[in-house]
Structure 1
Amino acid sequence: MDREKTITLDKLTTMTIKHVIFVIILLVSFKLSAQDQKKSTLKSFPKIELGIRGLDLAYEHALSPVLLVEPYISFGKEYQIGITSQRGFVFDLGDDYITLGSHLKLYYSLNKRRLKEKNMAKNAGNFLGTKMEYIYLFLDDEEGANYVNTSLYWGIQRSLRDQYLWGFYLGLGNYYNFETSTFSDVSFIANIKIGLSL
């Protein structure tokens, strides 16, 4: 039993180290892009968003002219999109959940948007991102399930009017299930949101 726990912890540590190394490589590879940005256009602000995953309460915090971190808490319904060997294309709504997590977003289109005099409000732009989140599912017939999700994605965010914004992202991620001590296969992730900055 102790050997199984050690192997599971080793797998989780290896997965975490791989993601940290990937983020470092991603940030270093875009260093020239970050240096090209002449003035900071990213702003820090709280927001409420409603998306296909549920309701998010978040805070976008600018770390640099092109990098921001977005911690959040989310409430909603689990969903699964993918292609399986047994069922083909899958879109399932599942159990209710609560999530605590954080996005790290690297904007790469800010200079072009500024040169074209496009709207830069509400951190409008294209970005590459990574997120890590803890998910607790409220299961009907059990005590609940605990997961950690790590994902890499591409997304956009745009200002609508005044305090409103919208955005979406597409990417790949996987889950670690604490109850079964297993990792999921890599899966497709997507979300579209409409929000209000506070």
Structure 2
Amino acid sequence: MKTNFLAAALSIISFGALAQTASPAQPSTKLESMSKIELGLHGLGLAYEVPLSARWSANLSAGLGGGYAIEQNDFENGFNSTWIINEPVAYFRSEFKYTYNRDRRLSKSKSILNNAGNYVAFQVKYTTNRVFEGNDYSFLEEPLNRTLLNEAHWGMQRPLGQKFIFNLHLGLGYATDFDFDNSQLYPAAGVQFSYVISKRAAL
């Protein structure tokens, strides 16, 4: 009798263990904190992406890259973007993102590594004059001015392996040139690759 009872107990325990093995816990869709090196159309810099909630996050970055000028005169009329490798400007950027489809990606067995998902965002970016050169009259053919850019965009963030991230966004922005005292709407587009230096577990 005792032998039969012991065998039954072991069978129940074994069945429970097999059931847990067959149904592993689902990975969390919560966002992670990440330190990154970013390279894209905007330039090269360091960034820190920090979750604010399960779906909201902030990406804060700074670095060197291309500059801007809004010229409205008899010779030029428009928003100009220029990236001169040996004459970069400094930029400071804050992007507030709402990532909306991570649960759906997980249900389709798609990766949610490194905060992968589609998002809508509002971004503020400030760029300086040339860092290593002056912005005097000798550079008026290609001015790089102190500029503030505000934009709203839609984007997608995807993992490339364990450490790399691809990011694409499209939207509409409004730029203000503090040196020429001009402002203008512009179509916003960005392509960026990132390398994850370190990250912390989801909240």
With normalisation by structure 1, the TM-score equals 0.69
**Higher helix proportion, which one?**
1
CA distance in 2, matches of 1:100, 1:116: 36
Tell me which residue corresponds to 2:158.
158
- Relative distance call for 1:118 and 1:79 in structure 2 (3 A) is farther
Structure having the higher Rg: 2
2:44 touches 2:65 (CA, 8 Å); kept in 1? yes
1:54 touches 1:77 (CA, 8 Å); kept in 2? yes
Tell me which residue corresponds to 1:25.
none
SS of equivalent residue, structure 1 residue 185: strand
2:164 is equivalent to residue 170 of structure 1: no
Runs of 4+ in 1 over 2 A off after TM superposition: 89-96, 177-182
CA distance in 2, matches of 1:165, 1:63: 20
Tell me which residue corresponds to 2:42.
53
TM-aligned CA deviation for residue 168 of structure 1: 0.9
1:41 touches 1:120 (CA, 8 Å); kept in 2? no
CA distance in 2, matches of 1:189, 1:68: 20
User: For residue 53 of structure 2, what is the amino acid of its counterpart?
Assistant: S
2:106 touches 2:112 (CA, 8 Å); kept in 1? yes
Structure 1's unaligned 5+ residue stretches are: 1-38, 81-85
TM-aligned CA deviation for residue 94 of structure 1: 4.8
- RMSD of aligned residue pairs (Cα, Å): 2.9
Describe the superposition over 1:146-170 as per-residue Cα deviations: whole angstroms up to 9, x where unpaired.
2211110010111111211111111
2:129 touches 2:135 (CA, 8 Å); kept in 1? no
Tell me which residue corresponds to 1:115.
107
SS of equivalent residue, structure 1 residue 45: strand
User: For residue 45 of structure 2, what is the amino acid of its counterpart?
Assistant: D
CA distance in 1, matches of 2:160, 2:147: 34
TM-aligned CA deviation for residue 93 of structure 1: 2.7
Percentage of identical aligned residues: 26
Tell me which residue corresponds to 1:102.
94
Q: Which has the higher contact order (CA 8 A, sep 6+)?
A: 2
* Residues 148-157 or 47-56, more deviating: 47-56
- Relative distance call for 1:187 and 1:90 in structure 2 (3 A) is closer
2:116 touches 2:156 (CA, 8 Å); kept in 1? yes
| Residues 125-144 of structure 1 mapped to structure 2, 5 A cutoff | 125-138=117-130, 141-142=135-136
| Residues 1-198 of structure 1 mapped to structure 2, 5 A cutoff | 40-78=29-67, 93-94=82-83, 96-138=88-130, 141-142=135-136, 145-182=145-182, 184-198=183-197
TM-aligned CA deviation for residue 64 of structure 1: 0.6
CA distance in 1, matches of 2:170, 2:129: 22
